[in-house]
Structure 1
Amino acid sequence: MINRVILIGRLTRKPELRYTSSGLATTQFTLAVDRPTSGDKKEADFIPVVTWRKTAEACANYLDKGLLAAVEGRIQVRSYDNNEGKRVYVTEVVADNVRFLERKAGEGRSSQGNDPFRNEGKPTDIGDEDLPF
């Protein structure tokens, strides 16, 4: 049996970082994932995602509302009894791996000033002494 899911979508809100009573970091966020349709109308599914430990801390620090992210994990269904005594079922993705496909606004690499390829498609002047052959 296999329970594996890979999603690419945009966050609907900033991840909420919390710690369990035993000190484990966890975040929860929702990923908006486009659904194929027959017409020009776009539809999306809003999928709850849970992360743990270092992944949770990284998500809290580097992800924000609207950013594109890839999530790899498993689908989990859990249940609990609410205050009215009714059984509530929750389906969510427990992420093993999260890839940050975009950066927060204003966040860049510290080495960008030395990047010879930052000209965005314009010719780059590289001398013969810079070539390794």
Structure 2
Amino acid sequence: MNKILLVGRLVKDPEIKVLQAGERKVAKFILAVNRNYKNSDGENKADFVPVSVWGKRAEIIMKYLQKGSFVSISGRLNTGSYEDKEGNKRYTYEVVAEDFHFVDNRKKDEVAQ
């Protein structure tokens, strides 16, 4: 079973691409997901996970999410590989979101007030 659940904040505004003569849309963004422990300086470390959302969901993402939005995403891990200019094999990964929920649509400075 290939199932992933992530909760985090968008690092920057999502970007949308239109494929196949306007028939398919994909929204892409990076999700910062805090780890559940702190380092020796008392800071949380985060993983930065690339996420893709396809179809109508991509349009919803573009309409409602922006940098700093807090979201829960469930989906699957998609992996791939390619050869770089030097002939080295490189591996890629991204989460393909199948479902998402807006955890908090307020900006961070609004929450602090």
- What TM-score comes out, normalization by structure 1 length? 0.70
More strand by share: 2
81, 86, 98: which one pairs with 1:96? 98
* 1:33 is aligned to 2:53: no
Aligned position for 1:63: 65
Structure 1 Cα separation of the partners of residues 103 and 43 of structure 2: 25
Shift of 1:38: 5.1
Cα distance in 2 for residues equivalent to 1:59 and 1:84: 37
Q: Distance in 2 between matches of 1:55 and 1:104?
A: 20
Q: How many residues align?
A: 104
Of structures 1 and 2, the one with the larger relative CO (CA 8 A, separation 6+) is 2
Contact 1:69–1:102 (CA under 8 A) maintained in structure 2: yes
Q: Which is higher, the Rg of structure 1 or of structure 2?
A: 1
Higher deviation after alignment, 58-67 or 18-27: 18-27
The percent of aligned pairs where both chains have the same amino acid is 36
Q: Which runs of 5+ in 2 are unaligned?
A: 108-113
Unaligned runs of 5+ in 1: 106-133
Q: Using the TM superposition, give the Cα deviation of residue 41 of structure 1 relative to its aligned residue in structure 2, in angstroms.
A: 2.1
Provide TM-score, normalisation by structure 2.
Answer: 0.81
Per the TM alignment, residue 47 of structure 1 is displaced from its structure 2 partner at its CA by 0.6
